[in-house]
Amino acid sequence: MDERLVTRGLVRAPFRRFLLWLVPWVALLGLGVYAAYLCLALGLNQTNMDNRFAFGLWIYLDLTVIALGAGAFFTGFLLYVMKRSELKAVINSAVVIGFICYSGAIGILAIDVGQPLRAWFTFWHPNVHSMLTEVTFCLTCYLTVLAIEYLPIVLKNRRLRTVPSMLVFEHELHRVMAVFALVGSFLSFFHQGSLGGLYGVLQGRPFAFRESLAAWPSTFFLFILSAAAVGPSFVLVTTWLVSKVAGRPLARPEVFRLLAKVSGSLLIVYVMLKSIDTLVWLNRTAPALGARPARFYAFDPFGSWVLFTEIVALGLVPALVLLSERARRDPRLLVGAAFLACCGIVLNRFVMTVQTLALPTLAFDPFLSYAPSWQEVASFLAVVAYGVILYSLSYRYLNLFPQERELAAQEA
């Protein structure tokens, strides 16, 4: 029914089946929008956050999706600046995922603040010392960049291409795409870092606080590195997932292997630097603030196993697997290791956001626990649903994977 919208030469599921696929996601989106409406209308008491857990599920997931969405900027950087042309196969998908991640994060942030109508105050009365100011500016700028990068993909749609002005516009954009990719990398570098800096500057929280290099705490650099490391892995995992759901190959194995190699190299560097940073933090930084590091891991279930899992099981191990050429040839090991690397970053963001707030600061503080309310979970699932819907529409009507057509021809 909608064949005229689908890119020429690509096979897509029947329209009705596509609609059926969308139905549960739309329902989930509806539920989440209702949850978000409750939070906006009735106030943030609809969540389980409180004065001690001022940041909850939303901030944690925001940091996580932004880290995972870093695949967008880093793949662009590798393609346009490092000239790794194999990545043309997945750059569109990466950009769409990045756009979803960032727009979703900003959507969640809009509900997370107590006074969303005052969101523009950060631009009007910015505090140059605050990491969050930097994050706000960079995120909004980068979302604009992503929108600009997304636009040509949309404009290449079969129907839209028939409009001459759109074609011209898309062509012009394409010529300057490298500039946008560079700007995007620059912005992304900063806000990935500032998100790490958000916690690294908290001198009141010895668990999160790190010493600074120049103006920035070490978590600034570690977050950038970890995001860059895990971005390609996430692109890999999502491409694999989409090809599984779609039932056809979407990119050549060399693309996956390149992504894995890049990810693995960055990940191993990250693991080394993170280990050094952890040692410095445990032995020097935290004790200088009067904290006893043993106390950080003295509360169930956040024992020291968390630290080892994050750095070794979900850091070193996948890094080594991704670096091994033999392992890269085995698709299961490849995807598995990439997935574990993503999990490592998910855990790292969790530790930095949730565990920081759970730990006591005063001598008579208890260790706190927090479980998100259904409104919080539903709002976030709405973002996931929005992402799936947007991605499904993009996959169906846009040429997200340039290699798909030839791979399909090869199979035939």
Partner 1 sequence: MEREKTEGAARYGMVVDLDRCNGCGTCSVACAVENNVPPAGERANARNGISWLRVQRVEAAGEARAAFVPMLCQQCGDKTPCASVCPQNAVELDPGSGIVAQVPVRCLGCRYCMAACPYHARSFNWWDPEWPGRLAETLNPEVSTRTRGVVEKCSFCSHRLQAARAALAAAGKGAALAAEYVPACVEACPAGAISFGNLDDPGSDVARLAQAPGSFRLLERLGTGSKVYYHTEREWVRRLADGRAAAGDGRNHG
Partner 2 sequence: MTTTRRDLLFGLGGGFAGLALTPVPWKLLDDVSIWTQHRRALPVPARGPVAWKAAACTLCPGGCALRVRCVGPRPVSIVGEPRHPLGGGACAVGLTLHHLAYHPLRLAGPARRLGDRREPVTLDSALATISSAIAAAGRTRQSVMVLDRRPGRVVSQAWLELLCGLPNGVYATVPGEEATLAAFGQATPLGIDLEHTRTLLSFGAPVLDGWGRPGRVLGVRGGLRVVQVDAWRSASAALADEWVPVAPGSEGALALALAQVLVTADPARAPQPARAALAALAPAQLAQRIGLEPQRIAALAQALAAGRPAVAVGGGEAGAGPLSPDNERAIALLNVVLGSLGHEGGIVARRPLPEAGRGGTGATFASLAEVPEGSVRVALLDAADDGRALPWPLLARTLARDALVVSLSPFDGLLARRASLVVPAPAPLEGLDEILPTADAALASYALSSPLLPQPAGALDAVALVQRLAAATGVAVDAANHQQRVTQRVAAITATGRGRLLARTGAGYEAAKPADADAAFALLAQGGVWIDAPDTSSLDAGRCPLPSAAALEAWSRPAEAVADLALVAFAARGTAGSTPVSPLLTKLYQESDLRAATRVAAIHPRTAGLLGLREGQAVRLESAAGAASASLRFDERLAPGRVAIAAGPEPSALHPEAKRTESGALAVAESGHDGTWRQTRVRIREA
* Residues near partner 2 (CB under 8 A): 115, 117-118, 120-121, 124, 165
17-24, long-range: CB < 8 A, 24+ apart: 18/392, 18/396, 21/392, 22/389, 22/392
Q: CA-CA distance, 309 to 307, in Å (whole number)? A: 5
Q: Which does 122 bind (CB under 5 to 8 A by kind): partner 1, partner 2, none?
A: partner 1
Beta bridge partners of 302: 299
Q: Which does 165 bind (CB under 5 to 8 A by kind): partner 2, partner 1, none?
A: partner 2
Q: CA-CA distance, 259 to 322, in Å (whole number)? A: 9
Report in angstroms how near the CB of residue 90 gets to partner 1 at its nearest. Answer: 35
- DSSP-based three-state secondary structure for 302: strand
Q: CA-CA distance, 254 to 146, in Å (whole number)? A: 26
Report in angstroms how near the CB of residue 147 gets to partner 2 at its nearest. Answer: 17
Which residues, at least 6 apart from 99, have a Cβ–Cβ distance to it below 8 Å?
Answer: 72, 143, 146, 147, 149, 150, 390
Nearer to partner 1, 245 or 288 (CB): 288
Nearer to partner 2, 42 or 312 (CB): 42
Judge whether 403 and 86 are in contact, CB under 8 Å.
no
Report in angstroms how near the CB of residue 295 gets to partner 2 at its nearest. Answer: 22
Q: What is the binding site for partner 1 (CB under 8 A)?
A: 43-45, 49-55, 112-115, 118-119, 121-122, 124-127, 129-133, 136, 198, 201-206, 288-290, 356-357, 361-365, 368
Nearer to partner 1, 1 or 54 (CB): 54
Q: Token pair of 409, please?
A: 């021809």
Nearer to partner 1, 45 or 162 (CB): 45
Report in angstroms how near the CB of residue 14 gets to partner 1 at its nearest. Answer: 46
Nearer to partner 2, 165 or 326 (CB): 165
Count other C-beta atoms under 10 Å from residue 210's C-beta.
24
Q: Which does 356 bind (CB under 5 to 8 A by kind): partner 2, partner 1, none?
A: partner 1
Report in angstroms how near the CB of residue 337 gets to partner 1 at its nearest. Answer: 33
